[in-house]
Amino acid sequence: MRNVTIVSADGHAVMPPEAWPDYLEKRFHDYLPVFHAENEVNRRAMLPLNDMLLVPALNLFDTEGAYRSEGWAGAWDADVRLAQMDREGIAAEMVYHGFFRVADLGFSVMNATYPPEIVDAGVRAYHRWAFDVFGGSPDRLLLVGAIGACTDLDVTLAETNWLADHGFVGMYMPGFVTIPGQPPLDDHYWDPLWALCAERGVALVVHGGYGLDQGYAYEQVDSACKKVDSYGGGDLDLVMALAQGIFSEKFFADLRHRRAMWQLMLGGVFDRHPDLHLMMTEVRADWLPATLRHLDEVYAKHQDVIASHRSPSEWWHSNCLAGVSFMHKCEVGLRHDIGVDRMAFGRDYPHAEGTWPNTIDYLRDLFAGIPEDDVRQLLGGNAIRFFGLDVATLDAIAEPIGPSLERIIGGADDIDPALIAHFDARSGYLKSAEEGTRLHELDELLNRDLDRMAATGPVR
């Protein structure tokens, strides 16, 4: 019986500052000092937050020294990345931008506000660096592009073609960072982009953090740093200020990522571009069954203003995939309601809330006693099918490094309960399912879109 082929649906990379001058176009080099100063602010805030969660538990979760030996440097070093993948039995992994140890070049939710041309230049720089560093292992490192300001659609189309030409499997959805003036995703403005993505096989990705206003997160972090400095506070004061502000529960519970999904479904985008694929990553999946049922009810009630000819749940099961980063126990329990063929596990390397460097123990507890077919789909098969990957190649990669099926499903009684509690503290592993508890909040956004559709007529 062959080993389990694991394709992680979530991992991250970031361009180190020393590479910035080589990849940012020279006409924008006047911004480099600003980027460096911004990077220092972000590092000052994020490193203590990370240490607060991980350092006290080093002897519990880092028994092999992967974290202490800076195994997280795989965020910018392909050799380290592949070694850490081999260590955890990961045949392939999707690679998105973003890792708190270094700031991105003007295009992410952790950056300040920049003009569109700077945002687009930062995206181009990241793409070319990512290809140069990680593009040599296209079967294992599945690159996903960032998204620019999208204020000049020709610029966006040209960069999308560049991504497709260089083997990127996907790119972030427009609106990851909200820039004033961007039209809703079902607007015909976007149709040339959707057509290109469908034609070139570039999947759209909605990732955690989607929809925040440009500059919002950085302004909050910078303000917290200045406030703590004003009274001579230290790292602990800064951590507390951030935990009560920008990185409170509210930050991670923002619902705008769900709006992106239903705008494609209800707004007729999938009808007009039926080969377009959408992956929802690091935004949990325990809300999907109740939300899809609710959207189906809305669809049935408002067909006079809704452009789609199919229900949201139909589009979910034909065009979408949930990249369930650090999958929770409750989400495995809901797999048949979500669609056992519509979920893919992600380890979120090397983020603190992810499963690295404990992925195998995490999976052993998560999938103990789960049927083989379900496990193989959730850990690799669904992602392979969704992205059209070469199953024979990945199975061959997994054979010497992947865990055996028996190791994954055979039981986890030998795992230290303290490690399970640590998983829960780190990622919410044991949280109860959200299900339909937030539908009333969702309706605040949904009703705005329905009012807009009623005022303008269906976009067909």
pLDDT of residue 49: 84
pLDDT of residue 239: 86
Q: Which residue has the tokens 């009703």?
A: 447
pLDDT of residue 254: 87
Residue 249: is its pLDDT beyond 90? Answer: no
- Top-confidence residue, 240 or 90: 90
Domain membership of residue 47 as a residue range = 6-456
Encoding tokens for residue 13? Answer: 């990379």
Residue 176: is its pLDDT beyond 80? Answer: yes
The separation between the first and the last C-alpha atoms of the chain, rounded to the nearest angstrom, is 49
The answer to whether residue 21 is domain-embedded is: yes
pLDDT tens digits, residue range 348-366? 999 999 999 999 999 999 9
pLDDT of residue 155: 98
- Top-confidence residue, 248 or 312: 312
Per the structure, the count of domains in the chain is 1
pLDDT of residue 323: 98
The answer to whether residue 1 is domain-embedded is: no
pLDDT of residue 1: 55
pLDDT of residue 334: 98
Cα distances (Å, whole numbers) of residue 185 to 120, 172, 191, 292, 340: 19, 13, 9, 19, 27
What average pLDDT is seen over the chain? Answer: 95
Q: Omega before 350 cis (within 30°)?
A: yes
Mean pLDDT to the nearest integer, 149-171: 98
Helix ranges, 58-152 (H): 58-61, 78-87, 116-134
**CB pairs under 8 A, 24+ apart, for 223-226?**
224/45, 225/41, 225/44, 225/45
Residue 311 corresponds to which amino acid?
A: S
Mean pLDDT to the nearest integer, 23-34: 98
Q: Do 454 and 298 contact (CB within 8 A), yes or no?
A: no
Q: Do 78 and 141 contact (CB within 8 A), yes or no?
A: yes
pLDDT of residue 78: 98
The answer to whether residue 78 is domain-embedded is: yes
Q: Do 154 and 165 contact (CB within 8 A), yes or no?
A: no
Residue 245: is its pLDDT beyond 80? Answer: no
CATH number, domain with residue 39: 3.20.20.140
Torsions phi, psi for 375 (to 5 deg): -60, -45
pLDDT of residue 90: 98
Residue 251: is its pLDDT beyond 70? Answer: no
**Least trusted range by pLDDT, from 20-29, 72-81, 180-189, 241-250:** 241-250
Residue 278: is its pLDDT beyond 70? Answer: yes
Q: How many residues does the chain have?
A: 460
Residue 79: is its pLDDT beyond 90? Answer: yes
Residue 451: is its pLDDT beyond 90? Answer: yes
pLDDT tens digits, residue range 212-239? 999 988 998 999 999 999 999 998 899 8
Question: Which residue, 105, 94, 83, 118, is CA-closest to 38?
Answer: 105
pLDDT of residue 50: 86
- Top-confidence residue, 263 or 456: 263
| Cα gap 178→266, rounded to integer Å | 21
pLDDT of residue 252: 66
- Let me know if 154 is exposed, middle or buried by CB neighbors in 10 A (0-12, 13-18, 19+): exposed
Residue 460: is its pLDDT beyond 60? Answer: no
Residue 386: is its pLDDT beyond 90? Answer: yes
Q: Which residue has the tokens 């979910």?
A: 316
pLDDT of residue 456: 82
pLDDT of residue 52: 85
Task: Determine how many CB atoms are found less than 10 A away from the CB of residue 4.
Answer: 25
Residue 458: is its pLDDT beyond 70? Answer: no
Mean pLDDT to the nearest integer, 99-123: 95
